[in-house]
Structure 1
Amino acid sequence: MPEQHDVDSATRNPREAFGEALRDARKQRRSGRISQSDLGRLSHTSKSTISRIEGGVPPIASHLPALFDQIFETDGHFKRLYEDVVDQSFPAQFRRRMIMERQATAIWEWSPTVVPGLFQTAEYARALFRTGTSRPSEEEVAALTRTRITRQELLKDAPTDIRAVLCESVIRRRFGSRDMVREQLATLLRHGERPTTRVQVLPLDAEPHALIDGPVSLLTTPNHASVVCVEAFRTANIIEDPEEVRTVIRVYDDLMGEALSARESAAVIREQMESL
C-alpha cells in the first residue's frame, strides 16, 4: 500500500506538494508553531529560501530535506517528497529507472564512454551537461548537476551491492582541467574501497563484446528479479524480458572476467592520476 504522500504527489506538482508539506509542518509543529524566519535559522538558511520553497519555486537544496525531517521529526517524509521532486524532472522512463535504482539490492554498471552517474563528481557532471546538444544555460546545468548528485544519496543508505566495469578509455579520457579529472579519478578510487562496491577496468585490447556500443545498467529488485536499463541519445529503455536479461547477464559476467581485478584496476587509475 503506497504511503499517502505518494498518492497526493501523483495528482499535484511535486514541488507544490513539498512546499505545502513544509508549510503544514511549520504550522503544526509538536513543540509549537514556528515562523519562516525561525525555520530558516534552524535549517541554516534564510526566510526568503523557506518562503520560496513553500511557494513551490525551485530549487530545493539537496541537504535541506534531511534537516527538515530532523527539525519536524518526520521520519524521512521530506526526503521521500524530495525524491518525488527529483524524479519529476526526468522523462517517464528515466523516472521509472531512478525509482528502481533506489529500490535495487544490486546495481551492475558497464560504461564504454564516461564515468557512471552514481560515481560522478559535481564538476565532472557539469562538464558533461555543458556539452548537451540543447545548449543548456548555466542555470539548467546547475539544476541537472544537483539532480545527478542527489541520485548518489542511495550510496549512503542501504548497502547496495554495486559493480562497475569501465572501459579503459573512460580512465584515459581527458576533458576539462587536470584537477577536475584527477578529483574524478580519486572519487572512483574512494568508491572502489567501499566493501559493497567493486570498480574494474576493461583493457583497451579486450576482445569485442555485445555491449561495446553503449552503457548498460543491470538492476536487481528486492524480489530478486533483474532488469536491464539502456540509455542512448535522449532516450532510455528498460528491458524486462527474462531471456534478454539473461543474455545481458552472461555478457556482463564475461566482461568482469576479462577486466582487470579490482586491485589491478585501482593501480591503473592511480597511474593515470599521477600522469596528469
Structure 2
Amino acid sequence: MAHINILDPSASPLDYYGYELRRHREAAGLTQRQLGDVINYTGSLVGQIETARKLPTEPFSERVDAALGTGGLLTRLLGLVLRSQLPAWFQQVAELEARATEVYTFHTHLVHGLLQTQAYASAVLGAMDRSKLDDRTTVRLARQRILKKEQPPVFWAIVGEAAMRQEIGGPDVMREQLSRLMSYEIDPRVNIQVLPFNAGAHAGLTGPFDLFRFTDDPTIVYTEGYGAGHPTANPDTVKNCSLRYDHLQAAALSIKDSAALIRRTMEEHYGESQLSSDGRSLA
C-alpha cells in the first residue's frame, strides 16, 4: 500500500488547503491522477499540493472547486494561503493593503508590487535569490487580488522616471511592464503619475514610502529596509509623509502626461525596432 502523508490541517493555511483538497477529492471517489485529468493538471501536481509541498494557484483552485463542487471553498482559502507564504515581516503590510480603502505609494527605481507583471516580479525577486522563484512570484502577484475586489481600494502610485528606464529582465519584460502601467490610464481607481528627472530636488529624496488609509482606523505610514518593514501610525510621521506626498503629486506629471511618457519610453527604449539582426542598438 502506498504511504499517505498525514496532514495536520492546523499546522498552516497551506496544510489546511491540502487537507481540504484531499478530503473533497476522496469524497468524490477520484484518485489524484483522475482529478488531474479532469482539471487538466498532472496527478503529481495534485499530490504535491495535497501534501503542502507546492503552492496552489488561482486557476488551479477555481478548476478544482468547479470539478468537486466545493462551492468556491479552495478559491476563498487561496488568499489566506498565499499571504501566509509572504516573509513574516511583510505579512502585516499585506494585511494593511487588503484592508485599506486608499493606498498611496511612492517608489523611485522600482514599479510597485501591486502593478508588477509576472515576468518583472520574477526578475526582481530573482536578482539575488532564485530559490523557489516560481512560488515566491506567485505569492507576490497574489497581492494584486485586492485591485479586483468588488470594492477595491483607490490606489495611487507615484513612480520615478528611473523605474521606467532601469532595464529589469530585458526589453521584452520592460515592454510588457510598461504596457501594463498604461493599461490603467482609464481606470479611475488606479492612478499612476511619473516623477520625471527634470523635477529636480523633490519631497521624496529621503526614500520610498507608502500610506494606507482606512474608514475607521488611523492612517499608517510604511517604509522598508533590507529584510524589514516599518509600519507606524505616529501622528507626526503620518502628517509629515502626507505633506510630502502632496508635494510629490504636485511635482509629478499629470496622469495623462505620465501615460504619454511611459508610452514614449516604451517605444524609444524597448520597441521591437530598436535592435538590429545582430542585437546591436539602432537608437
The TM-score normalised by the length of structure 2 is: 0.83
1:152-191 matches, cutoff 5 A: 152-158=144-150, 159-191=152-184
1:224-263 matches, cutoff 5 A: 225-263=218-256
Q: Which residue of 2 aligns with 1:118?
A: 114
Report the alpha carbon displacement of residue 165 of structure 1 after superposing the two structures with TM.
0.5
Question: 1:119, 1:187 within 8 Å by CA — same for their partners in 2?
Answer: yes
Give the aligned residue type for 2:43: K
Question: 1:36, 1:50 within 8 Å by CA — same for their partners in 2?
Answer: yes
Name the Cα RMSD after superposition: 2.2
Q: Which residue of 2 aligns with 1:149?
A: 141
Give the aligned residue type for 2:144: Q
Identity of aligned residues (%): 30
Q: Structure 1 residues 209 and 15 mapped into 2: Cα distance closer, same or farther (>3 Å)? A: same
The total of aligned residue pairs comes to 261
1:192 aligns with 2:185: yes
Report the alpha carbon displacement of residue 106 of structure 1 after superposing the two structures with TM.
1.6
Report the alpha carbon displacement of residue 104 of structure 1 after superposing the two structures with TM.
1.9
- Secondary structure at the aligned position of 1:192 is classed as coil
1:205 aligns with 2:198: yes
Report the alpha carbon displacement of residue 177 of structure 1 after superposing the two structures with TM.
2.0
Report the alpha carbon displacement of residue 142 of structure 1 after superposing the two structures with TM.
2.0
Q: Any gaps of 5 or more consecutive residues in structure 2?
A: 1-7, 270-283
Report the alpha carbon displacement of residue 94 of structure 1 after superposing the two structures with TM.
0.4
Q: Which residue of 2 aligns with 1:4?
A: none
Report the alpha carbon displacement of residue 155 of structure 1 after superposing the two structures with TM.
1.8
Distance 1:87 1:196 in 2: 23
Report the alpha carbon displacement of residue 74 of structure 1 after superposing the two structures with TM.
4.2
Question: 2:86, 2:139 within 8 Å by CA — same for their partners in 1?
Answer: no
Q: 1:271 aligns with which of 257, 264, 268?
A: 264
Give the aligned residue type for 1:90: L
1:20-61 Cα distance to aligned partner (Å, 9 max, x none): 011222244xxx544433422332212222122111111323
1:76-91 matches, cutoff 5 A: 76-91=72-87
Q: Which residue of 2 aligns with 1:97?
A: 93
Report the alpha carbon displacement of residue 146 of structure 1 after superposing the two structures with TM.
1.6
Give the aligned residue type for 1:126: S
More off after superposition, 78-87 vs 115-124: 78-87
